[in-house]
Every structure is written in structure tokens, then in C-alpha cells.
Amino acid sequence: MGSASMISSRRAFLRSAASIAVVSGAGALLAQPVFASAGKDSAPPPHHDLVDTVPGKKSPNGWSINTAANSGGSVWTRPVPGTAFNVDVAIGEVEIVLVHVIRRFHYEIDTLRPGDVVGFRAASLRRGYELNHASGTAIDIRPGHYPPGVRNGFYPHEVAVIHDILAECEGVVSWGGNFSYPDEAHFAIGVPPTDERMRRVTSKIRGWNSAPGAGAGVIQDLKVSS
């Protein structure tokens, strides 16, 4: 079956599943991404005082390095709406963007399960771009399936989805599949906190999350070469 036919079949399946969910009441998980609002999920946890950062230390993308998650710094365990798992990421704008990436992958590439997404990692033993994990601004999606140094882990239609995600994020997100030494599991914030695109993109995603028929969970009409 051609990749274009695969996308068409997947789109038809998801639309059919969504219709069944509405009728039976069993599809709350599928319906959630269309109607969920990012506002509540993105609220800072209590006692957010940034005490557990490393003074003066930044990850390569310009964000503050933390020593741990859920310890008073900027990195907290946050829910990924529409899935059965959480992820440790920097709260606020970073959270909104990276959770959006995860959700689009979950709905449009393959279903993700607990343990499939790795967020925060301590700075020790991290080098180069991997140090972005220590600021909670990077995620690895199924790193065991897409190991560093290996290309073509995704089918062409899946790469088309990833490129569409990157395009709608307006350069705010970088993908390891575009690195000279590839790491196709790796997605990260590619700009510093001062970049105006962060506010613009997060505002756009918030709008999608609050509007039925928009945002993650809505199958994109992508053009894929066969």
C-alpha cells in the first residue's frame, strides 16, 4: 500500500473511531485532545520558587539547568492530555510546546505508552545537545526505537508529520533527525527564553487546545510523495 493510501486509511479509521466514541461514551480518551484546554495543565505547581536550579548555568539552548524535577525549580512532572502518562518538563511555554509535540506524535504517528517519553535528565553525564534535558526543554520519544546515529527510523508519511509539527512550531522546536549525527528520538526547544516566537507559538497552541476541531488529535491533510 502506498504511503498516501496509508494516511488516507489512518484518517478514515480515526474519524470512524471518533464517531463511535461519541455514541458509546467509550471514547473519552480520543475526544479529549480536541476539547482540552492547556490553561489548567500549564498552571505552575504550588510553591514555584525556582530554588532548585544551578545558579548561572544554562543548557545549550539558553534555559536554566535544574538539579532535579519537582524540587522547587522550573521542571515538574506534567500530564500529557489524552495519554496515560506524564512527562518531566519545564513548566509554562516549554511545557505547552513539548506536550503539543508529544500529543501529535501520539495521535498521528503511533500510540505512546508510559515509559515511551523521557523528559528531564540530570546534567551529569550529559554532553552537547543532550544537556537540554537538564533544563527540561528536551524530550526523547522512544529512544530505544530510534537510537542515536541511525537514520530512516520513520516511514515517509511519519517524517511528513514531524516536518509539519516543526513547521507549525515556527522554528521553536528542533528535531534530532535533522542533526548531522542523527538522533531521531530527540525533540527540543531550539530557541532561548527571550525569543519572541515562543510566546507566539504557545499562544497559537493554547488557541487550538481550546477550540473544537483544532490542534493535536485532528488529522492533518499532509502531502506525501509516494
Q: For 160-185, what is each residue's pLDDT tens digit?
A: 999 999 999 999 999 999 999 999 99
Average pLDDT, the chain: 80
- Nine-digit cell string for 66: 535544574
Q: What CA–CA distance (Å, rounded) separates 200 from 37? A: 17
Mean pLDDT for the stretch of residues 184-212 = 93
Q: In the prediction, which pLDDT does 108 show? A: 97
Counted domains in the chain: 1
- The separation between the first and the last C-alpha atoms of the chain, rounded to the nearest angstrom, is 10
b/e per residue, 43-81, with b = 16+ CB within 10 A? Answer: eeeeeeeeebbeeeebbbbbbbbbbebeebbbbbebebb
Q: What CA–CA distance (Å, rounded) separates 158 from 152? A: 10
Task: Say if 29 falls within a structural domain.
Answer: yes
Show the domain range for 164.
Answer: 3-209
Task: Say if 221 falls within a structural domain.
Answer: no
Task: Say if 37 falls within a structural domain.
Answer: yes
**Are the beta carbons of 108 and 157 closer than 8 angstroms?**
no
Task: Say if 152 falls within a structural domain.
Answer: yes
C-beta neighbour count of 29 within 10 angstroms: 13
Q: Which residues contact 157 (CB under 8 A, 6 or more apart)?
A: 3, 4, 6, 7, 222, 224
**Are the beta carbons of 139 and 101 closer than 8 angstroms?**
yes
- What pTM did the predictor assign? 0.73
Task: Say if 214 falls within a structural domain.
Answer: no
Q: What CA–CA distance (Å, rounded) separates 102 from 87? A: 10
Q: In the prediction, which pLDDT does 204 show? A: 96
User: 135 φ, ψ to 5°?
Assistant: -100, 5
> Does 42 have pLDDT greater than 90?
no
116: part of which helix (H) or strand (E)?
none
Greatest Cα-to-Cα distance within the chain, rounded to the nearest angstrom: 54
Q: In the prediction, which pLDDT does 126 show? A: 79
Task: Say if 215 falls within a structural domain.
Answer: no
Q: For 90-115, what is each residue's pLDDT tens digit?
A: 999 999 999 999 999 999 999 999 99
Q: For 117-143, what is each residue's pLDDT tens digit?
A: 999 999 987 789 999 999 999 999 999
Task: Say if 81 falls within a structural domain.
Answer: yes
Q: In the prediction, which pLDDT does 92 show? A: 97
